[in-house]
Structure 1
């Protein structure tokens, strides 16, 4: 029992006999007991997720590695994060990345180069070339303890208006971008991972270059692994995390690829079930533990990614 509960029980036994106070005391004791029992459960859930599988988060505001480096590293270490998807900002000095990655590796956190915007698939867009040139140059200059450990793309072509009006062409450009990035990743000896929405397994393409199948299967085949944006705060039912990720986990196993399941902590007002923003970290860990227990023996399942660092920090314990 919590010390506070013992103190109140002691006061109660010493003679505070009013029915009103008795009722209050009983309620307080019950709440205290619930809290005392829940805390070990929370700690157990947290420990069970800290395995040799991926436990990642995203950092989009790259300038924070300069202004808030110590806070970031302390947070990652306290949460058991072992992988950080760090967006590339070429305006930040390479020496800042080098020092940050070196310090991150000291606490067991590998850093992946994160980038891409939907308009990167537009013809003649300079983004892909600039990203690849920057990363190739960085890896060449960095020491082994300062290098990125992977490439992580978050393209989201379906956010473009042309997704509906010129769909076949947009899908072709999306596939071209992933193919070209995979060739580049092979050249600089880094694995390539890509984010996909859970509904890509129900979205089929058909073209002369790549044949016909679901987009989820195509992305899995042409990368080293995916992060599937499950974006639910519950596990069960046909709309829960387990049902929405099942086909990708099965197909990745067949292809000997890896699947990380990503969840959201940013605020999404119009659909609260998409995010943990209004829940607690205890709720999030408990949900992820259920997913982990379900998939743990699946060879393709490779852990979790929490989107994203800044919003995760806002969750209460």
Structure 2
């Protein structure tokens, strides 16, 4: 992957020494390298962009909650979305949430299925069990109805169902609700996109690309719509293997991804509703070579 203007010669040189380097942009557009652990304004600016990560508690790896929590905190994340099974939090969820809190991270309950857009009450039922123990600060819905077989024929109805699911979870839990949305919906289904945005407190745009320019290009219309609607949003990058070239950082280094994230943050720092970048997912992020 070519990082173009977002990789400096100094940054590439330091990478060989294993020191994570980032690009900091000046007012005139000039760039210079900076370390993530560098004190002062530059280090704070870099860390402020990397906002959150998904944590899917699946069977890819037994996992070590303390290790994942330490990694997330060290890389600058402030929040994690921890997946909660349909039946509610199990011991692994409880241990993971506790570890994340010890690392100083906010924790949202993560759940979703395309079927919830057809039957929004399922989202409410799940949210009741997910929050019964008071483990979570917020809710994060990953419903993705555009992956269903009857999309796009039933797109309007499915997005209406997603909006209803978000509203039900909000009313049931009293917590802030963040919803994952594909950026292209702002163009293909503008009314449905706006309906979902209105039902949520925040939106995560699944802007899965591996360059600064492409992340911004794929999310342009969605970002404009969110700004017009006055809704806080985050962009997202992916680290898991993908069959679509240019949509994931799988096979690239952690430093390459974080350079791109730093570039995104620098170019969007003036946007009022931009709240940072989310990484999908924490285990994939940690698995990238330095």
TM-score by length of 1: 0.73
Alignment of 1:140-289 (within 5 A): 147-164=135-152, 167-168=153-154, 170-204=155-189, 213-236=190-213, 240-268=214-242, 270-289=243-262
Whole-Å separation in 1 of the counterparts to 2:248 and 2:273: 24
Residue 47 of structure 2 is aligned to residue 50 of structure 1: yes
Q: Note the C-alpha offset of 1:187.
A: 4.0
Task: Give how far 1:280 is off.
Answer: 0.9
1:95-150, CA deviations, whole angstroms, 9 ceiling, x for partnerless residues? Answer: 65455434422322111111111122335x874243022034233xxxxxxx3111
Structure with the greater alpha carbon radius of gyration: 1
Rate the CA distance shift 1:160–1:136 in 2: closer, same or farther, 3 A: same
* 2:267 corresponds to: 294
Task: Between the two structures, name the one with larger relative contact order (CA 8 Å, sep ≥ 6).
Answer: 2
**1: CA distance, partners of 2:277 / 2:35:** 13
Residue-pair matches, total: 263
Quote the Cα distance in structure 2 between the aligned partners of 1:126 and 1:33: 50
CA contact (8 A) 1:116 1:127 kept: no
Aligned to 1:130: 125
Change (3 A) 1:32 1:134: closer
Q: Counterpart of 1:7? A: none
Q: 1:21 maps to which residue?
A: none
| CA distance in structure 1 between the partners assigned to 2:84 and 2:145 by the alignment | 19
* Structure 2 unaligned blocks of 5 or more: 1-8, 23-32, 37-42
Cα contact 1:229–1:262 (8 A) shared by 2:
yes
**Contact 1:54/1:260 (CA < 8 Å) preserved in 2?**
no
Deviation at 1:32, TM superposition (A): 11
Cα separation, partners in 2 of 1:130 and 1:63, compared to 1, 3 Å: farther
Match of 1:70 in 2: 66
SS in 2 for 1:194: strand
8 Å CA contact retained: 1:225, 1:259: yes
Higher helix share: 1
The Cα of 1:299 is off from its aligned counterpart by 1.1
Unpaired runs of at least 5, structure 1: 1-30, 140-146, 205-212
Contact 2:51 2:276 (8 Å CA) reproduced: yes
Shift of 1:295: 0.7
- What is the CA RMSD across the aligned residues, in angstroms? 3.0
Name the structure 2 match of 1:41: 21
Deviation of 1:82 after TM superposition, in Å, equals 1.0
Secondary structure of the structure 2 residue equivalent to 1:86: strand
Name the structure 1 match of 2:25. none
Match of 2:257, SS state, is helix
Verify the 8 A CA contact 1:65 1:96 in the aligned structure 2. Answer: no
- Secondary structure of 2:212 counterpart: coil
TM (norm. structure 2) is: 0.79
